[in-house]
């Protein structure tokens, strides 16, 4: 099975504005031996047909191969996070997985997903629909650690009701071909949406993050913040688009993307974009690209710290703002102590 041979499916195209700088050719032309639905370890999950409409064609890949969607409905406050560990083992296989996470009114919840593999030449198509009812709060954390010769297409769509709060933290560690999509169309008042990302790439990793937020209702807030550190020949694309329509006065839309290049061969394409159709709002966007501060490096070395240790300290300080922004202490501890070998 080849993705580019699917009939009647609109696939992402590098000529489209959304997917500029992303080359899907190697993934779409790969011949997979079989397509499998990745089954959750959680028993008794309801299955529905995915009838959601999505802004991005990125969702079409998984949906065209598997229209079923599992549901996790959280209708009670939970003391500990829900952990979902995805382990891809079969070679030359395209796995699909679609999940709807619903958080009921006035409920507070935490969900962590980890994607790892021991496979060769496989891919994972993942669709996520996150629904927060009125006054609901969700902290969602994703860790991607897919190694080279494998791919992950991860597409997330969000629906938030009045006074709901969603914080997503996305960690990208793997060396494969990765494309992430996050879309949130805000149609309710007093919605808070925060998306933080840390891309820590090396070798020949290629990771793209496509973020689109549309404000259609007043008094809503979106805050997008990405930190990227790239080594060797790794490549990253971070495209952040926020639209504030005439119907969304007194909204807030913030974007930030900071990158440290640790090799002359590492590359980043960062594109923050604000489309503002109203005057009564707060908005800002910015992007920086550079290397580690040499003066700080020399200072630490002058204090008796080895160059290697000083290098690690400065890099950790740069990256720690994303990790430290996690609210749940159990999740923060999990992320801090995360090691890929434990899950493969």
- Give the number of other Cβ atoms within 10 Å of residue 137's Cβ: 19
In a domain, 315, yes or no: no
Contact 37, 66 (CB under 8 A): yes
* Residue 40 in domain: yes
Q: Is residue 100 part of a domain?
A: yes
Do the domain assignments include residue 325? no
Instruction: Determine the pLDDT at residue 173.
Output: 96
Residues 73-124: tens digit of each pLDDT? 999 998 899 999 999 999 999 999 999 999 999 999 999 999 999 999 999 9
Output the CA–CA distances (angstroms, integers) from residue 125 to 63, 132, 141, 193, 281, in the order listed: 9, 23, 18, 24, 37
Question: Quick check: is 320 in a domain?
Answer: no
d(C-alpha 249, C-alpha 219), whole Å: 7
Evaluate whether residue 229 is within a structural domain: yes
Query: Is 198 part of any domain?
Result: yes
Of 119, 127, 172, 114, whose CA–CA distance to 148 is shortest? Answer: 119
Give pLDDT tens digits for 233-248. 999 999 999 999 999 9
pTM of the model: 0.95
Per the listing, tokens 């710290």 go with: 305
How many residues in total does the chain contain?
Answer: 344
Domain membership flag for residue 332:
no
Instruction: List pLDDT tens digits, range 31-48.
Output: 999 999 998 878 788 999
What would the DSSP string read from start to end of 230-279?
Answer: E-TT-EEEEEEEEEE-TT-TTEEEEEEEEEEE-STT-EEEEEEEEEE--S
CA 93 to chain centre: 22
pLDDT value at residue 251 = 97
pLDDT confidence tier of residue 220, bands split at 50, 70 and 90? very high
Query: Nearest 5 degrees, angle CA 258-CA 173-CA 29?
Result: 105
Cβ neighbours of 230 (radius 10 Å)? 24
Query: How many independent structural domains does the chain possess?
Result: 1
d(CA 257, CA 221): 18
Segments forming the whole domain that contains residue 134: 3-292
């Amino acid at each position: 099975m080849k993705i580019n041979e699917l009939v009647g499916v609109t696939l992402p195209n590098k000529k489209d504005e959304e997917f500029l700088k992303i080359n899907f050719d190697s993934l779409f032309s790969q011949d997979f031996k079989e397509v499998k639905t990745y089954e959750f370890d959680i028993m008794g999950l309801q299955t529905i047909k995915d009838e959601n409409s999505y802004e991005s064609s990125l969702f079409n890949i998984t949906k065209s191969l598997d229209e079923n969607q599992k549901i996790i409905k959280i209708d009670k406050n939970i003391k500990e996070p829900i952990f979902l560990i995805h382990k891809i083992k079969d070679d030359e296989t395209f796995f699909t997985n679609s999940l709807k996470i619903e958080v009921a009114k006035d409920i507070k919840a935490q969900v962590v997903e980890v994607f790892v593999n021991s496979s060769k030449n496989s891919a994972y198509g993942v669709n996520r629909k996150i629904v927060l009812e009125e006054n609901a709060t969700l902290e969602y954390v994703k860790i991607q650690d897919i190694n080279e010769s494998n791919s992950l297409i991860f597409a997330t769509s969000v629906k938030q009701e009045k006074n709901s709060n969603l914080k997503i933290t996305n960690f990208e560690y793997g060396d494969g071909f990765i494309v992430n999509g996050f879309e949130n169309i805000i149609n309710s008042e007093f919605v808070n949406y925060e998306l933080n990302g840390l891309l820590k790439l090396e070798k020949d990793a290629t990771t793209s993050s496509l973020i689109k937020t549309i404000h259609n209702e007043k008094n809503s807030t979106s805050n997008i913040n990405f930190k990227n550190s790239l080594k060797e020949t790794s490549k990253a694309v971070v495209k952040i688009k926020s639209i504030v329509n005439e119907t969304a006065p007194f909204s807030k839309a913030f974007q930030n993307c900071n990158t440290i290049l640790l090799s002359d061969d590492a590359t980043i394409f960062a594109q923050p974009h604000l489309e503002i159709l109203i005057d009564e709002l707060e908005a800002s966007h910015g992007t920086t690209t550079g290397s580690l501060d040499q003066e700080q490096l020399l200072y630490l070395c002058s204090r008796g710290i080895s160059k290697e240790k000083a290098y690690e300290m400065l890099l950790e300080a740069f990256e720690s703002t994303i990790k430290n922004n996690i609210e749940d202490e159990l999740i923060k501890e999990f992320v801090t102590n995360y090691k890929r070998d434990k899950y493969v």
